[in-house]
Structure 1
């Protein structure tokens, strides 16, 4: 009888693959599509990374032995969670790997605005020595609302403490979370958002967060608010965001994710002076494979012992 397969769709280093083989001696480890080609795909029990075409085939096949998928991202909104639930497939994400990188990205884009660096870069390209239209403020003392108080939000809150930023949080229930002056539930978000200087979106995409940032939410913000999105693009209504940037409700927006990616060439956002666009890079992380394999091995050990996941298990009902 053919051994069950661990399929590493996400390439790993040789030493990391060897650790997986040593941990799961009763499994065949396919470390590439080439290695998988000579095997029965229905024997895949564990998948690291999500091979969209093959994964969908396994989710719909009555012969599939798929039991667990470990994603390489924090978000799982692109997966068919209903189908995962119907097939009884466990799901875990890579939450925590990107925390420092994304938190640093948020502070980086804020400094470019608050210290006039973004405009200075433009002036350098034009060889213009002038302070006339440079604006500068201090981040210290600003009120920041971090919408999403998970690993990334907590890391950002830890960084802001050293900068003297007053940090508040929003999560599903309003539960108190380390690093935040106070936390509020998502349903009460409009009440607190009126007092904030900076709003940072780090939420996953769910039915409850889709188009959360729309005309009504932007109108609830005080005029001149700074908005940063490193969460999910579809959480924001792009047309309403553009309007809020035009009418001054938002002073500045730093956007790393968008409803449609790549951002279309004809989008107005490209040419707006009060917008900083980055191409979904906030989560790029040094030593990513090492951190990913650590999570995977911890979960693999737990899965082999009792078919549970020790780290970053996803609720298929909640979507996070």
Structure 2
């Protein structure tokens, strides 16, 4: 058994790598993006980022020392959580890093629709000065249901309050959460959703949220509802979404995530006029590496002290 290793699959600046080394002097730090030296895989105790091929070998190894993985994303649905739980491997995510970016994205796409900006962009391309087909509404006073009241949902609620949006939330139990007028449980979601003008999905992907938005859910909404998805693509049944758009049940959908990515060129969504497609960019965040490092180093110091994590630990049986 050799020196325990911290394996950096996510590229960091040299000074950031040095910060990790200083925080864990008893560990060897391997920067996989720079170093080509052979690694004794079973000595990897901590992994920053997830190398799927290497990770699978470690999960299958009876002698692996892997004890903690720091994900670079908020969603962890691509990990084998059952295997992590069985082997006692801790998993933490990057929740909180993307909160401002995703909140700004949601408000940006809503303003683009409500203020006729999407249509104006088309007119500009065609050098047309016209207001005839520009529809506009006031975002202020709209009732918005944020499905997922974690760090991103709370940030969106805070920003929305400044615009006068009436913001409600949905979470697992319906517990009260800061920033929301009222919160409801998942099981009561279909009852309250019919009163909302805007529905924003920010849920992680779990067994309970897979294809949550199906025909029943879409047609429980108020006719003309605006739907925004910045959570996970597979939470939406795509064919049912297309049907709801074509029937006018949804007046507009802003979609950043999809069941299949990249979105296939033959998807009908490309051709639907009242759809805004963005290529999974809502979480792109300036200074991402520095923010990720802050979470990782805080957890690293706690892990070295007592093999626990102090921030963003995933409840493996829940999936978030």
Alignment partner of 1:6 is 2:10: no
Post-superposition CA distance 1:76-134 (Å, at most 9, x none): 00111111111110000000000000000000000000000000001111111111110
Task: Please give the secondary structure, in 2, of the residue aligned with 1:47.
Answer: strand
Give distance in 1, aligned partners of 2:110 and 2:99: 17
Deviation at 1:34, TM superposition (A): 5.2
Decide whether the 8 Å contact of 1:174 with 1:185 is kept in 2: yes
Task: Please give the secondary structure, in 2, of the residue aligned with 1:220.
Answer: coil
Correspondence for 2:22 = 22
Deviation at 1:63, TM superposition (A): 1.3
Decide whether the 8 Å contact of 2:11 with 2:33 is kept in 1: no
Decide whether the 8 Å contact of 1:9 with 1:50 is kept in 2: yes
Give distance in 2, aligned partners of 1:31 and 1:163: 44
Give distance in 1, aligned partners of 2:133 and 2:55: 53
Length-normalised TM-score, structure 2: 0.99
The answer for unaligned runs of 5 or more in structure 1 is none
Length-normalised TM-score, structure 1: 0.99
Give distance in 1, aligned partners of 2:226 and 2:105: 15
Give distance in 1, aligned partners of 2:131 and 2:6: 59
Correspondence for 2:217 = 217
Post-superposition CA distance 1:43-63 (Å, at most 9, x none): 000000000010011001101
Correspondence for 2:91 = 91
Correspondence for 2:168 = 168
Deviation at 1:38, TM superposition (A): 2.0
Decide whether the 8 Å contact of 2:10 with 2:33 is kept in 1: no
Give distance in 1, aligned partners of 2:9 and 2:221: 43
Correspondence for 2:254 = 254
Correspondence for 1:63 = 63
Task: Please give the secondary structure, in 2, of the residue aligned with 1:273.
Answer: coil
* RMSD (Å) for aligned C-alpha atoms: 0.8
Decide whether the 8 Å contact of 2:6 with 2:46 is kept in 1: yes
Correspondence for 2:289 = 289
Give distance in 2, aligned partners of 1:183 and 1:52: 37
Give the total of aligned pairs.
320
Decide whether the 8 Å contact of 2:46 with 2:69 is kept in 1: yes
Post-superposition CA distance 1:252-271 (Å, at most 9, x none): 00000000000000000001
Alignment partner of 1:77 is 2:77: yes
Give distance in 2, aligned partners of 1:36 and 1:106: 41
Matching of residues 1-320 of structure 1 within 5 Å? 2-33=2-33, 35=35, 37-320=37-320
Give distance in 1, aligned partners of 2:37 and 2:187: 49
Moved over 4 A (4+): none
Decide whether the 8 Å contact of 1:70 with 1:296 is kept in 2: yes
Task: Please give the secondary structure, in 2, of the residue aligned with 1:194.
Answer: helix
The answer for unaligned runs of 5 or more in structure 2 is none
Deviation at 1:33, TM superposition (A): 4.9
Deviation at 1:15, TM superposition (A): 1.2
Post-superposition CA distance 1:262-286 (Å, at most 9, x none): 0000000001100000000000000
Decide whether the 8 Å contact of 1:101 with 1:285 is kept in 2: yes
